[in-house]
Amino acid sequence: MEAERLAELEDCFKELMNKIVEEENRQKKIVEQIQKMEYPFKNILFKVYIQGKSLVTVASEMNYSYIHICREHGIALSKFDKMI
């Protein structure tokens, strides 16, 4: 009984590790795509989606208005989507 349970746990662990590796690869591809973008789109997407910053914070850090960053963020997402 314990051997079966251990085998099940090993299978779950392997499956989880495979999912982690897949997610890491996906994240690397996203970062690579962002790095290919031009300024300021690259900076906006990196700060928001990699660093986890809000658009308010990004606007402040980049010395732009919040409204301007919202517009640029929308453009950046469109450009990113077209790259994929």
- d(CA 19, CA 76) in angstroms, rounded, equals 28
Q: Is the predicted pLDDT of residue 62 greater than 90, yes or no?
A: yes
User: How many CB atoms neighbour CB 15 within 10 A?
Assistant: 10
Is 3's pLDDT higher than 90? no
Structural domains of the chain, count = 1
Tokens describing residue 7: 């085998």
- 3 state SS of 36: coil
**pTM of this structure:** 0.75
Indicate the average pLDDT of the chain: 93
Burial class (CB in 10 A: 0-12, 13-18, 19+), 30: middle
What is the CATH classification number for the domain harbouring 77? 1.10.10.10
∠ CA(33), CA(38), CA(42), 5° rounding? 60
Owning domain of residue 75: 2-83
